[in-house]
Structure 1
Amino acid sequence: MYWIYVVILLLILGTQFFSGGGGMWYQPKEISNSQLKEFVANGDVKKIEILNESHTAKVYIKKEALEKEVHQDVKGEDSLIPQTANEEIPQYQVTFGDQQNFETQIRNTITETNQTTELSFDKDESGWVSAILINVLPILLFIGIWIFLMRRMSGGSGGGGGGQIFNIGKSKAKLFDEKKDIRATFKDVAGLEGAKEEVQEIVEFLKNPERYTSLGGKIPKGALLVGPPGTGKTLLAKAVAGEAKVPFFSLSGSDFVEMFVGVGASRVRDLFKQAKEKSPAIIFIDEIDAIGRARGKNNFTGSNDERENTLNQLLTEMDGFGTNTNVIVLAATNRADILDKALMRAGRFDRQIYVDLPDLNERREIFEVHLRPIKTKEALDLDFLAKQTPGFSGADIANVCNEAALIAARKGKKAVDKQDFLDAVDRIIGGLEKKNKIITSEEKKTIAFHEAGHATVSWLLEHAAPLVKVTIVPRGQSLGAAWYLPEERQIVRTEQMLDEMCATMGGRAAEKVMFDKISTGALSDLEKVTKQAKAMVTIYGLNDKLGNITYYDSSGQSDYNFSKPYSEETAQVIDKEISEIIEGQYLRAIKILEENKDKLTQLANQLLEKEVIFKDDLEIIFGKRPFEKENIGVEKNLEA
């Protein structure tokens, strides 16, 4: 866009130059007719140049006359007049009305005073140049701005007869170039063995279709990658792009959405047209829920929905008349429950590949991948790191490795060690330490007993996760934090959930036992146990009063209902049962702490003294847990 500014600047400078008469930056001093007659009579004027079109006269003063005091302000040495050796510059300028009268007066003055002043005439060429510039400049500016806007609308390309304003219905998909783009292969995808097998087979379909079609089978038309955020769905698609020797079109679901009507459907048609021309090919649509949301659920106005039109076109292209089986569609989403049923059916997305959070072994493999570029001080125990990160996704583990490297660099180390990784886990889960946060001694004591209550109850209950570390150093928004080693379970029983809830209520129970007062520090604890109790009653059917019933809708369609799936009487029963479960575990925690009040006090005092205590300190106070199991993970409980 800078060429527009250059043209405008040149036009302005050109106008200044031509309108200046004798110099680019200089305008002669304006004087009156009487002053001019006086200068002529005194013999100071060398030449008068009359410009007959602009009704002005340029006055040139003799060199010796410039030494006079009256002309000092226009003298070359002391003024801004650009005097040169080969060019005469006018010192004064006179504006007149009738040219004939002005000319007669000047000639009479010259004759009467017997002077040698020369009188000349000029057509004033700068007048018509300035007029042309004044008339043409607005038109040039308008044309320049129009061209600039058209180039901007075309994304800077300016091609295609006006750019993207005429190509707005074209697909925005990026065609993967294996020579230029960074290649990711299946070796870069750790874990996800089942998902990798599925997508590897899709690549094989396109490389060697006869192997599968010879027996009468058909190549799948699509595969949907479903899973929580950060589990590697997009990475898996990148690996497919790197492994497949076929054209790979990549774009996001939001790329179809535009403010203009019909653009989304047009882009879908153009995308599949390009893919069919290069078939066999793969199309990858990331975050497909942007256009694949169930139709007719949120259109209360009755107006035309552009997103639904886009989805309808996508459905037609994937499985309609004239579709091409040599184009496979990969899509990724973490909201499969809200997708339209027509999109999920076989024949469109034949396969749904669930990409779950990694388990212990998969986390170890992910650590191996992300530790490759990191310079470590020693051979790290990957099993230990995997145990410290339960519930972490692949993206979280990548963040742990990066944060550990940053922490080591911040400390001036030349390599990353084990402690840096532990600090990185603490930093990601709990936030940054705030050792300078102002906390009164009374508040600190309350926090210490609160955290000691959690540690005590969890240590003495069989199904609660045992403590690894507890601190009263503020982190993020929490005033204290405790790290636990939970058992990774696939199913959870009633007594396990109740023990976890009792341990969570141990903080508030400790405040009640020691001070007979409670505080707002248990906010996150109450939020956690309320959700757990509500899930027990309304989702998992673990309540005797309501029985084996659930109000959970896995299809996600309940979001659009205006009424609850149960009566008001049932709602009252649910509220009562949730309250009884929570209060029962609260009283249970109080009873456990009253029976171990001396140990609770000892632990809290030690916490006040050291600020951070570990599992070994609890073993000294309580002894070893009689129901100790092999610990395979770390969990954290925060008090807001």
Structure 2
Amino acid sequence: QGGNDEREQTLNQLLVEMDGFGSGQEVIILAATNRPDVLDAALLRPGRFDRQVVVDAPDVRGREMILRIHARKKPLDPSVDLGVIARRTAGMVGADLENLLNEAALGAARSGRSKIVMRDVEEARDRVLMGPERRSLVVREADRRVTAYHEVGHALAAQLLPHAQRVAKLTVVPRGRAAGYMMPDADDRLHVTRPALEDMVAVALAGRAAEEVVFGEITTGAQNDFQQATGLARRMVTEWGMSPRIGKVALAEGEGSFLGGGPQLVPMSEATAHTVDEEVRGIIEAAYARAVALVQQHLPRVHETVEVLIRRETLSGEEFSTLLAGGTLDELPPPPPAPLPPAPLPA
């Protein structure tokens, strides 16, 4: 109760001060928040904070401009294409992009180079998004192979489904909490169609599909994939009116574009909740069936690509496209050395 009283007193005093400015005083009051939904209505009335400007994450052009500002005092090699980096950093804000170039500069220094090359920037992007590499982690060959098939499954769906985001990179090098990952060539979509969402769900599930088709059994590696796929499917049903059985109604409310303001499901009957679950499950099952069929259809190419990925550890989107089309990569490096066994514990 005491905390609420202080909050009310602070709010009232702020309103008094704002109302006390005369029209002749050249004073502009600015404020920023990530939670406009919890502001008191009195603050948003005309004459107070009555003009709201949403500062969203920058688009691809904005990211390139921000990168150019932070790159002014950085020794960039001519091979560094800031436009390509901007296209592959969707969702990053200014602080992320500044951190990315700082990490790239540190990477170049650690490698003994006087200039930042494209490889430094790509490594920095991966470090910012996924965490540092864990090359000291001893990975069994069987686990590395499962990871390779899992990531090639994701990449196959991303490259072949008509509305999916194409592949930017895939790797079996552990990073952060991931044993490997496939990075899509993200774009700034303003409007996403139902076919595009269905392809996104299928891409998320294609890693598990590849595991099941190739090995006949499944692992725990798809936990995050299921969360992503289920989240998309549920939003299709409850927020975006894409379920024929539920209809064109919103069963979630709240603003999800601000920190901490994710949508919440509205109260609904048990029958409606059951229908929502059935519709979500139907979207998931249909997408998984598409992913399984895709892997089965291109299984020989999947096997070939996995062998190259295990040997090279990382493939760019262009290299993956070449392999998927039946091409070969020049100067294939030798297989990586077997990891050292863990040191015995002291007696």
Q: What TM-score do the two structures reach when normalised by structure 1?
A: 0.48
1:518 paired to 2:222: no
Q: Structure 2 stretches of 5 or more lacking a match?
A: 327-347
Question: What is the letter of the counterpart of residue 22 of structure 2?
Answer: N
2: CA distance, partners of 1:362 / 1:431: 25
Q: How big is the shift at 1:415?
A: 2.2
Deviation digits for residues 530-559 of structure 1 (CA, Å, limit 9, x no counterpart)? 111111111111111101001232369xx9
Higher-Rg member (1/2): 1
Q: Given the alignment, which residue of 8, 19, 22 partners 1:324? A: 22
Deviation digits for residues 61-120 of structure 1 (CA, Å, limit 9, x no counterpart)? xxxxxxxxxxxxxxxxxxxxxxxxxxxxxxxxxxxxxxxxxxxxxxxxxxxxxxxxxxxx
Spell out the pairing of 1:472-483 with structure 2 (5 A cutoff): 472-483=172-183
Pick closer, same or farther for the CA change 1:380–1:564 going to 2, 3 Å. closer
Q: Given the alignment, which residue of 596, 605, 608 partners 2:298? A: 596
Q: How big is the shift at 1:515?
A: 1.0
1:314 paired to 2:14: yes
Pick closer, same or farther for the CA change 1:368–1:618 going to 2, 3 Å. closer
1:570 paired to 2:268: no
Question: What is the letter of the counterpart of residue 359 of structure 1?
Answer: D
Q: Given the alignment, which residue of 22, 34, 45 partners 1:334? A: 34
1: CA distance, partners of 2:97 / 2:111: 21
- Match of 2:114, SS? coil
Q: Given the alignment, which residue of 300, 320, 323 partners 1:618? A: 320
1:531 paired to 2:231: yes
2: CA distance, partners of 1:380 / 1:511: 37
Q: How big is the shift at 1:312?
A: 2.1
Q: How big is the shift at 1:379?
A: 6.9
| Contact 1:464-1:486 within 8 A present in 2 as well | no
Aligned to 1:447: 147
Question: What is the letter of the counterpart of residue 532 of structure 1?
Answer: L
Aligned to 1:129: none
Q: How big is the shift at 1:310?
A: 0.9
Pick closer, same or farther for the CA change 1:590–1:304 going to 2, 3 Å. closer
- Match of 1:470, SS? strand
- Match of 2:252, SS? coil
Q: Given the alignment, which residue of 194, 199, 207 partners 1:494? A: 194
Question: What is the letter of the counterpart of residue 602 of structure 1?
Answer: E
Q: Given the alignment, which residue of 281, 291, 301 partners 1:579? A: 281
2: CA distance, partners of 1:486 / 1:406: 25
| Contact 1:367-1:382 within 8 A present in 2 as well | yes
Q: How big is the shift at 1:486?
A: 3.1
1: CA distance, partners of 2:66 / 2:202: 34
| Contact 1:541-1:548 within 8 A present in 2 as well | yes
- Match of 1:421, SS? helix
Q: How big is the shift at 1:399?
A: 0.7
Deviation digits for residues 409-433 of structure 1 (CA, Å, limit 9, x no counterpart)? 1222222222211111111111111
Aligned to 1:554: 254
Q: How big is the shift at 1:303?
A: 7.8
- Match of 2:227, SS? helix
2: CA distance, partners of 1:331 / 1:431: 33
Q: Structure 1 stretches of 5 or more lacking a match?
A: 1-300, 625-640
| Higher RCO (C-alpha under 8 Å, 6+ residues apart) | 2
Question: What is the letter of the counterpart of residue 324 of structure 1?
Answer: G
Aligned to 1:343: 43
Aligned to 2:74: 374
Instruction: Give the alignment's Cα RMSD to 1 decimal.
Output: 2.1
2: CA distance, partners of 1:606 / 1:417: 25
1: CA distance, partners of 2:265 / 2:278: 20
Pick closer, same or farther for the CA change 1:330–1:616 going to 2, 3 Å. closer
1: CA distance, partners of 2:299 / 2:271: 42
Q: Given the alignment, which residue of 152, 156, 162 partners 1:462? A: 162
Q: How big is the shift at 1:318?
A: 1.7
- Match of 1:613, SS? strand
Q: How big is the shift at 1:364?
A: 1.3
Pick closer, same or farther for the CA change 1:616–1:376 going to 2, 3 Å. closer
Aligned to 2:309: 607
Q: Given the alignment, which residue of 32, 41, 61 partners 1:361? A: 61
| Contact 1:430-1:481 within 8 A present in 2 as well | no
1: CA distance, partners of 2:46 / 2:8: 20
2: CA distance, partners of 1:324 / 1:530: 54
1:438 paired to 2:122: no
2: CA distance, partners of 1:424 / 1:555: 32
- Match of 2:32, SS? strand
Q: How big is the shift at 1:347?
A: 1.2
Question: What is the letter of the counterpart of residue 176 of structure 2?
Answer: G
Aligned to 1:508: 208
Aligned length: 318
Aligned to 1:425: 125
Question: What is the letter of the counterpart of residue 267 of structure 2?
Answer: P
Question: What is the letter of the counterpart of residue 355 of structure 1?
Answer: V
Question: What is the letter of the counterpart of residue 597 of structure 1?
Answer: L
2: CA distance, partners of 1:374 / 1:303: 48
Question: What is the letter of the counterpart of residue 612 of structure 1?
Answer: T
1:398 paired to 2:98: yes
- Match of 1:332, SS? coil
1: CA distance, partners of 2:310 / 2:255: 50
2: CA distance, partners of 1:563 / 1:459: 34
Pick closer, same or farther for the CA change 1:555–1:492 going to 2, 3 Å. closer
Q: Which moved more, 1:404-413 or 1:522-531?
A: 404-413
Question: What is the letter of the counterpart of residue 94 of structure 2?
Answer: G
2: CA distance, partners of 1:591 / 1:311: 60
Question: What is the letter of the counterpart of residue 596 of structure 1?
Answer: H
Q: Which has the higher strand share?
A: 1
| Contact 1:431-1:476 within 8 A present in 2 as well | yes
